[in-house]
Amino acid sequence: DAGVIQSPRHEVTEMGQEVTLRCKPISGHDYLFWYRQTMMRGLELLIYFNNNVPIDDSGMPEDRFSAKMPNASFSTLKIQPSEPRDSAVYFCASSLRQGLLAGGRPDTQYFGPGTRLTVL
């Protein structure tokens, strides 16, 4: 299995530009997560999907951020317009199941390599 795939690995853009990050979860996984990691705030959960449906987006910082999952094998995280404070490493993760379907325990999350975003 190729694991979780993210693209691009690095993105440098200018303030005000639109940025789209892409993720391909592990085949067969029902859950997909988007995280953001910075030195100041650590690893933050932004949003997660279950069977392609957004379940909790309470971690999305602003309306400039949006995420979609058009099918089970692809998700995007879009920032429009981007700002310098959005500079961070963005991780995508997937897991097979959660909660009751996982025997009542949090299931293992498999992380991608991340996208390092720099907004100038």
Partner 1 sequence: LAKTTQPISMDSYEGQEVNITCSHNNIATNDYITWYQQFPSQGPRFIIQGYKTKVTNEVASLFIPADRKSSTLSLPRVSLSDTAVYYCLVAQGKGYSSASKIIFGSGTRLSIRP
Binding residues vs partner 1 (CB under 8 A) = 4, 31, 33, 35, 42-45, 48, 50, 55-56, 58-59, 91, 93, 95, 98-102, 104-106, 108-114
Residue 41 Cβ, how far from partner 1 at the closest point, in Å? Answer: 9
Residue 53 Cβ, how far from partner 1 at the closest point, in Å? Answer: 10
Which helix (H) or strand (E) segment holds residue 98: the answer is none
Strands (E), the chain: 5-7, 10-13, 19-24, 31-38, 42-50, 53-56, 65-71, 74-79, 88-95, 110-111, 115-119
Looking at beta carbons only, is 101 or 120 nearer to partner 1? 101
Looking at beta carbons only, is 42 or 70 nearer to partner 1? 42
Collapsed DSSP state (helix, strand, coil) of residue 70? strand
Looking at beta carbons only, is 82 or 94 nearer to partner 1? 94
